[in-house]
Structure 1
């Protein structure tokens, strides 16, 4: 059984189990300008490439979110790997939300990194998040 590592623990998993974990990081609850960073895992279908997966996920997001507005799609480099990023806004029940979603390929798997802030991702937050992303190391 492969050994699975987490920050707080490790455990043995059957070899055919998949890692579908979600990592959630956020500013303190007391922050006047909250922002979160969530990392989840996805898998590309046979014959699917990263651009197809990203477009499929963005189509799903657009159809499920009110007043979805795409700001920009771009290629970015994270940990020496070419990734795709989409930045968009949408309206939730509590107000305007601003998100960046990054699709980082790992073979047929994809790390999906989502940054979310109410109203807008401020420049200071953007700089802090970009610094965090520049520290990302893939194993």
Structure 2
């Protein structure tokens, strides 16, 4: 496939895997007080941004001595949903600090998805100056798939707004947006749905109700069944617009979803209600 590097474009043999990593440091020798590394990783199956972040936290906890996650933050990277992990660990008697931002972007192959990772590291706690430097860098990021004339339009056109399905978890304070019913039912665990851990809504914010076509089974080890979503006008239920305050994090469950924040969902629902 054609490969774009900083100084050249070339044909990459199909047998080779892209392990590109960009490293930015303050000097040429020795450990740097502040550094930034940009890399990417392949997603697994139907990985969502939250699933990828949770798996990364687990891997970091196993690999880094004294690992401690300080905070998790939802943000936007060039209008693309992203998550920032703020954590620290001990290395050779020094407490290292890292802010790692990740976003799901289209992969090299058609339909593939990968995670873009941008990590800033300090050999001590972040100063205001280094925090500001990294924040300014993140604000300046422009993702190729958002700004290429054809790619961004193709992604947006692939998911009509009317097919969007929202899933709200009050316990996790998270709002997921999926491209359609099938994706929502595939990615939200049927066992949690049976426990009323999720509420579903269509693109207009109207409640959707799960109907199990294959029940969950088992006692000690529950095996997930399957369900579909349907409207039930006879069952009074609050709309998404009145329940949106319960969400503090937005997750696009698919790269085809055109929304990138809770604020955008709120504006969309407000516009729909005024029509």
On whether the aligned pair clears a TM of 0.5, the verdict is yes
Q: How many residues align?
A: 138
- Greater relative CO, 1 or 2 (CA 8 Å, sep 6+): 1
CA distance in 2, matches of 1:123, 1:51: 28
Tell me how far 1:26 sits from its aligned partner. Answer: 1.3
Q: TM-score, normalised by structure 2?
A: 0.47
Does the CA contact (< 8 Å) of 1:28 and 1:34 recur in 2? no
Out of 115, 122, 136, which is 1:117 matched to?
Answer: 122
Does the CA contact (< 8 Å) of 1:44 and 1:50 recur in 2? no
Per mean C-alpha deviation after superposition, the further-off stretch among 81-90 and 46-55 is 46-55
Partner secondary structure for residue 66 of structure 1? coil
CA distance in 2, matches of 1:48, 1:9: 31
Equivalences for 1:1-139 in 2 at 5 Å? 2-14=1-13, 17-28=16-27, 34-107=33-106, 108-139=113-144
Q: TM-score, normalised by structure 1?
A: 0.88
Unaligned runs of 5+ in 2: 107-112, 145-275
CA distance in 2, matches of 1:63, 1:18: 25
After superposition, the CA RMSD in angstroms is 2.2
Unaligned runs of 5+ in 1: none
Partner secondary structure for residue 60 of structure 1? helix
CA distance in 1, matches of 2:44, 2:15: 17
Query: Which structure: larger Rg?
Result: 2
Partner secondary structure for residue 3 of structure 2? strand
CA distance in 1, matches of 2:10, 2:79: 29
User: Which structure's residues are more often strand, by fraction?
Assistant: 1
